[in-house]
Structure 1
């Protein structure tokens, strides 16, 4: 070789050595999965508000979302759920837990969230929904006796401070409809907390892809059953409603569901829920871009607090 020139095998060996010297930690990977998942989930509220402009009902829109999602969950679960001889055995209790989480922690959580968005802005929905990190910590403490680390409380309080600051100057038009919507979205957050906790306990043992596919296939079936017995249509709707539903199914349901479960597997339910607090900030940015909402200095300051809370969790020891 001339000078500093290296052959291709030598360059590959050098790159491999550099990667081994600076490995990416599981927590870093988990945080990246959770941040991307939270941003994609946050798009859901904006898309729902856009779809509601065509006078589609909440159950019809939720039904379309899960109808388009179901084939993808089945395909991913079949091809990526692990070979039969390599998968961990599942007990009857595991199956019952997954079915319960799919119905309660995803279907009912999604339905109450869709209902609440009829009365609230997308940003306000995110604010109320993201009470769930604290709910996750408290439920784990009450049910399983899981210790709440001081850094978790500190990061949670910092994230909530950011949320309060970000929306301090907002006019939410508090009234009957607001309170109804707030109650529905808070219930959604409580129900979703059970899914986060269950995912953190089951996914590491039976597999991330396998757990997510089984739970969300269950949720999709529950939603489709609901739509089939309701009087709300899923056919004959405006073309844009179907376009929004497809986008919501792929980018706001299927992809982030697997990302979040992978993140929970690597960080644990408590830390994962705190990192998810980035969601309200993402919603503010999305509303600014797609719905023409104005971003204020307070919102920027609140976003900085939330990002700081996420960084604290990222650098803490699990």
Structure 2
């Protein structure tokens, strides 16, 4: 049974790393929405995020290289790159496009549903046991999602349905990534996974833009106002790379389980930021839906974390 941690300097430093990292990550949707108000497109936002973040992840990989385990097998490297396409290309692409149509608050609630997709994918793909509590979680979260995108308010529902569908699809893709990469992360390591995955995703993003808009896509990428590129830099560095690095260092000091507890504050931060910085307002039925999703996911994940702490 785990004993309570002593409040020593490494533990306090780990807590600080985790909190700051989670604050930065939770602000991602806010900065993306700001970029959209200046005319940025979802594709261009993701493109610059990848182009700026990829070399930084590679630098982090080189910095930690001496401390990493032996180089993984080539097959595992290939698998890391392929699964990286899910988490660094397809999932964020769907999320960024969906965020163009829904509020940052609603987007965060929908993204939170990924544990439900992990459960469903594991059941059908790996035939893992599913309990009555799991089924209740799926039903309750589904009801919460319906309310969060408008419920019976047809005006709100029609305004949010397309964006919500894309964000939920993004969440499902992320859930698929978690299922496929479970053992792979242990073999390859999260630092290598990020460097390999982001590198391949950057190539995929360029090919996607060429396929969709031709080689003239570069003209659009450099046609935005100067503040947009500053926001792109913030999105890439302070809401993507910094959270990864800080949470990596935080987990090293306080452990993954306690780190997960701190990570659960993320949606609350996004709600506060969305209301304060973007002036987002939801209907009462949407707030009820957000509360249902947040409460159910927090309860389910908290129960799992509690069991791990007791182990």
Structure 2-normalised TM-score? Answer: 0.73
Where do 1:129-278 residues align within 5 Å? 129-147=111-129, 153=134, 160=141, 167=148, 173-175=156-158, 178-227=160-209, 230=213, 231-232=216-217, 233-257=220-244, 266=256, 278=265
Q: Sort the Cα spacing of 1:194 and 1:257 in 2 relative to 1 into closer, same or farther, 3 A.
A: farther
Q: Report the CA distance between 1:34 and its aligned residue.
A: 7.7
CA distance in 2, matches of 1:194, 1:301: 25
**Which residues of structure 2 form unaligned runs of 5+?**
8-12
SS at match of 1:174: helix
Q: Which has the larger radius of gyration?
A: 1
Q: Report the CA distance between 1:21 and its aligned residue.
A: 8.4
Q: Report the CA distance between 1:298 and its aligned residue.
A: 5.3
Task: Tell whether 2:303 aligns with 1:312.
Answer: yes
Paired residue for 1:281? 268
Q: Sort the Cα spacing of 1:111 and 1:168 in 2 relative to 1 into closer, same or farther, 3 A.
A: closer
RMSD: 4.2
**Which residues of structure 1 form unaligned runs of 5+?**
1-19
Larger helix proportion of the pair: 2
Which deviates the most, 56-65 or 153-162? Answer: 153-162
Where do 1:111-130 residues align within 5 Å? 111-130=93-112
Q: Report the CA distance between 1:156 and its aligned residue.
A: 5.2
Q: Decide whether the 8 Å contact of 1:105 with 1:194 is kept in 2.
A: no
CA distance in 2, matches of 1:301, 1:187: 21
Q: Sort the Cα spacing of 1:218 and 1:158 in 2 relative to 1 into closer, same or farther, 3 A.
A: same
Q: Decide whether the 8 Å contact of 1:34 with 1:260 is kept in 2.
A: yes
Paired residue for 2:91? 109
CA distance in 2, matches of 1:36, 1:123: 20
SS at match of 2:58: helix
Which deviates the most, 276-285 or 198-207? Answer: 276-285
Alignment size in residue pairs: 288
Where do 1:17-28 residues align within 5 Å? 22=5
Q: Sort the Cα spacing of 1:166 and 1:43 in 2 relative to 1 into closer, same or farther, 3 A.
A: farther
Q: Decide whether the 8 Å contact of 1:101 with 1:215 is kept in 2.
A: yes
Q: Sort the Cα spacing of 1:300 and 1:218 in 2 relative to 1 into closer, same or farther, 3 A.
A: closer
CA distance in 2, matches of 1:258, 1:169: 37
Q: Sort the Cα spacing of 1:312 and 1:166 in 2 relative to 1 into closer, same or farther, 3 A.
A: farther
